[in-house]
Amino acid sequence: MNEYDTELIRSILAEKGFTFTDSEQDADVILLNTCSVRENANRKIFELIHRIRHDRQGVPAIFGILGCMATNLREELISDPHLDLDLIVGPDSYKKLPDLIQKAGKEKSFDIQLSDTETYEDIYPNRESAANAWIAIMRGCNNFCSYCVVPYTRGRERSRSPKGIVNETRKLVKEGFAQVTLLGQNVNSYSYKDTRFPDLVRQVCDVEGVKRVWFTSPHPKDVADELIELIARHPKLCKHIHLPLQAGSNEVLKKKNRPYTKEHYLTIVDKLRAACPEIAITTDIIVGFPTETDEQFKDTVDVYNKVGYDSAFIFKYSPRKLTKAERDYKNDVPEKVKTERILLLNDLQQKFALQRNQAMIGKTLESLIDNIRPNAVEGRTIHNKRTQIAAKTSEIGKLRLGETLSVKIHDATPHLLKCRLADSHKNP
């Protein structure tokens, strides 16, 4: 979502005549678009600010923090003399950026107001050429998972019109993008007048010329049967769902304010696999939520063993300002226990990821090319699995981003399918 927001910001600034440089040394204005979801995201930004200031050796620039850290840490950011920021702007105020930058030349300038309606519907993001284009179809979150800062930093849920999204997809196809990915904090909470998420996905998939469609991230509480059917049946829709579990224990899920049970989650997985046996399933897990016992953690391991995820992001719980968990619970699971749990899950994850990828050896599939380097080509299968394609330099020279090639998988690692071009590899 932040990458997409940066594309929006680029578009808003370019419209007002700003130009961009890759070098932090040359810039007159330096804006960091930030995430606040976990503690180490904050830490990375503080380190980056100090590094850039050090490298510039006192050469002045207008320095600004945008995004979730701006809303989450406003007071700390404003009052910290070491950071000495000129500009602090939250995720719903980007349209004001050109004015705020002008103002920041004279005095410090802040806007962290959240909006119930801003969707940036009228801004066409300034995207860098790639195979995939992101489209944020909804913003914000109303779920208030007890550990999560997003509802406080990004505000309430709001959805863009289906007409705007479909028109944007058509425009992207004309510009040569092969894939669109529909984005949202809770993508399947999408709701605009009579249009619900499965209707929207169908409309986007039906746009002529779009080769692939994906969406992320859905919430397990809202996975409609109609959506499962669509994943199974629509040839353009990726056979991959990122379905955050967060924890396997029903007591922990309750404390996390995740309104589903382990059993319900596993039922969705069964339905997905029954409808689409090849589907890749990935997840997010937080280990060491306050009071999580070894016994409760075993439920997470149990779900892992039952689902056999293709990949997973596993995080240690970190308390976030403003959240219910930070207010009401002590961060009482020792760091050492969190580390043990993460290592155990990572080991399991490697094993399942390798198994799932090895099961694809020998298959011939289409790979959508999204990275062309002088001596290597990479792409993704319809399951969003990364493929590394061996090809001759003469062949690489003729390839384009967004092209699909027929490839045969001959080897696999947990994160990669190694392929060769199939005999008749060019697809229309």
Residues that bind ligand SF4 (CB under 6 A): 141, 143-145, 148, 150-151, 185-186, 219
Could you say which of ligand SF4, ligand 5AD, none residue 38 binds, taking C-beta under 5 to 8 angstroms by partner kind? ligand 5AD
Supply the DSSP symbol for 246.
Answer: B
Q: How far is the CB of 253 from ligand 5AD (least distance, A)?
A: 12
The only residue of 284, 302, 378, 395 in contact with ligand 5AD, by rule CB under 6 A: 284
Instruction: Give how far Cα 166 sits from Cα of 125, 171, 210, 283, Å.
Output: 15, 9, 11, 28
CA–CA separation, 20 and 14 (whole Å): 8
> How many Å apart are CA 201 and CA 181, to the nearest integer?
10
Which of 8, 37, 348, 391: binder of ligand 5AD (CB under 6 A)? 37
What is d(CA 124, CA 141) in angstroms, rounded to the nearest whole number?
A: 23
Question: For ligand 5AD, which is the closer residue by CB, 39 or 118?
Answer: 39
Site string for ligand 5AD, 313-352 (x = CB under 6 A): --x-xx-x--------------------------------
Please state, in angstroms and rounded to a whole number, the distance separating the CA atoms of residues 237 and 329. 41
Query: Is the CB of 70 or the CB of 417 nearer to ligand SF4?
Result: 70
HEC assignment per residue over 289-342: CCCCCHHHHHHHHHHHHHHCCCEEEEEECCCCCCCHHHHHCCCCCCHHHHHHHH
Smallest distance, ligand SF4 to C-beta of residue 49, A: 25
Answer whether 342's CB lies under 8 Å from 352's CB: no
Q: Cis ω on the peptide bond leading into residue 93 (within 30° of 0)? A: no
Which residue reads 């050429």 in tokens? 129
Q: Which partner, ligand SF4, ligand 5AD, none, binds residue 110 by CB below 5 to 8 Å per kind?
A: none
Residue 219 contacts which entry, ligand SF4, ligand 5AD, none (Cβ below 5-8 A, type-dependent): ligand SF4
Q: How far is the CB of 309 from ligand SF4 (least distance, A)?
A: 18
- Restricting to residues 216-255, name those near ligand 5AD by CB under 6 A: 244, 246
Select from 286, 382, 412, 419 the one that contacts ligand 5AD (CB under 6 A).
286
Cβ proximity to ligand 5AD, 24 vs 284, nearer residue: 284
Exactly one of 9, 12, 31, 38 binds ligand 5AD (CB under 6 A); that residue is 38
265/243 Cα distance (integer angstroms): 9
Q: How many residues bind ligand 5AD (CB under 6 A)?
A: 12
Nearer to ligand SF4, 149 or 412 (CB): 149
Residue 197 CB, shortest distance to ligand SF4, in Å, is 14
Q: How far is the CB of 291 from ligand SF4 (least distance, A)?
A: 19
195: tokens are 């249009």
Q: What is the DSSP string of 71-129?
A: HHSHHHHHH-TTT--SEEE-TT-GGGHHHHHHHHTTS-EEE----SS---TT----PPS
Q: How far apart are CA 265 and CA 244, in angstroms?
A: 10
Question: Is residue 224 within 8 Å of residue 191, measured between CB atoms?
Answer: no
User: What is the smallest separation between the CB atom of 378 and ligand 5AD, expressed in angstroms?
Assistant: 25
Nearest residue to 102 (alpha-carbon basis) of 132, 53, 65, 62 = 62
- The interface partner of residue 132, options being ligand SF4, ligand 5AD, none and the CB cut-off 5 to 8 Å by kind, is none
Find the part of the chain contacting ligand 5AD (CB under 6 A) among 197-205, 310-318, 331-339, 378-386: 310-318
**Residue 317 touches which of ligand SF4, ligand 5AD, none (Cβ within 5-8 Å per kind):** ligand 5AD
Closest residue by Cα to residue 162 from 195, 133, 123 = 195
Binders of ligand 5AD in range 124-153 (CB under 6 A): 147-148
Cα 419 to Cα 410: distance, rounded to the nearest angstrom: 6
344: left (phi over 0), alpha (psi -120 to 50) or beta: alpha
Minimum CB distance to ligand 5AD, residue 89 (Å): 22
Nearer to ligand SF4, 20 or 313 (CB): 313
Note the residues at the interface with ligand 5AD (CB under 6 A).
Answer: 37-38, 147-148, 244, 246, 284, 286, 315, 317-318, 320
